[in-house]
Amino acid sequence: MKLRQLFLYPREYAGVFRVSALILVVALVFGLIFGSVYVRYMDWYDLEKLESGLNYFVQITDEGGSVSRAKVASNSFNTNGLFILYTTICGLTVIGLPLVVAMLAFRGALLGFTTAYLIHRLAWRGMAFVLVTLFPFAAVIVLVSLFSGASAMTFSWLMVKKVFGKGDRLPTPILGFLVLQLGAFVAMFLVAMLEAVAVPWLFQRLLPWALSQ
């Protein structure tokens, strides 16, 4: 067995990757819609808690407080890095494959909820705030998440076919899968570093403006 065969996917699995990506996009869109709609059904008490958190943040920025860059980086990397780790485990175990779809839907719900709340609370200023502070990083994170999830689903399907199929003696490209997931993990790390640099600076300048009437 050549080591090269452990890195290369069979060509026919490009179609499986596209189908997997499509499934995950549908799950993500479903989550976005659900999160956006959920804001409208929140009661007064829940909205007040969100409001107090927003007001506290703008208060510490007005008083010269600063957001810890290390905390921003660690929170981002812990959340997104763990997502890549979980999709890798799901891909290797196969039985956890539905969790990949569920995790993408949940990510979409969080993003949709955050965006809808800020727009509901701040109107057009909220839209501008989201586009400048949230959207650039969220777009990269979503794309990397879709790539990682689709890679995991493709690898799982390859393993299922290998176990239940007949005449397939090609080695499983496990090293190729792990390299792809490592690339996604590194991408999430770089995004976390960029967020640590940009997010505190953007929030301290744009959030007081967005909350001003």
Kindly give the confidence (pLDDT) of every residue in the chain, 213 residues in length, as a single tens digit, with 9 standing for 90 and above: 565 555 566 676 778 889 999 999 999 999 999 988 887 776 665 566 566 555 545 554 544 545 567 777 888 888 899 999 999 999 888 877 888 999 999 999 988 888 888 887 778 888 888 888 888 899 999 999 999 999 999 888 888 877 776 555 666 777 888 999 999 999 999 999 998 888 878 877 777 777 675
**DSSP code for 165:** S
- CA-CA-CA-CA torsion sign (203, 59, 110, 200): positive
The two tokens of residue 207 are 């959030």
Q: Please name the residue that has the structure tokens 């905390």.
A: 71
Tokens for 151, please give them.
Answer: 């890679």
SS3 call for 43: coil
Question: Whole-angstrom Cα distance, residue 206 to residue 23?
Answer: 36
Model confidence over 39-59: pLDDT tens digits?
Answer: 777 666 556 656 655 554 555
- Give pLDDT tens digits for 58-97: 554 544 545 567 777 888 888 899 999 999 999 888 877 8
DSSP 58-100: HHHHHTT----HHHHHHHHHHHHHHHHHHHHHHHHHSTTHHHH
Phi-psi region of 123 (alpha: psi -120 to 50; beta: other; left: phi over 0): left
CA distance readout (Å), 31 to 12, 28, 36, 110 = 30, 5, 8, 8
Residues shown for the chain: 213
Q: Rounded to whole angstroms, how far apart are CA atoms 181 and 93?
A: 15
Taking the C-alpha atoms of residue 198 and residue 143, their distance in angstroms, rounded to an integer, is: 20
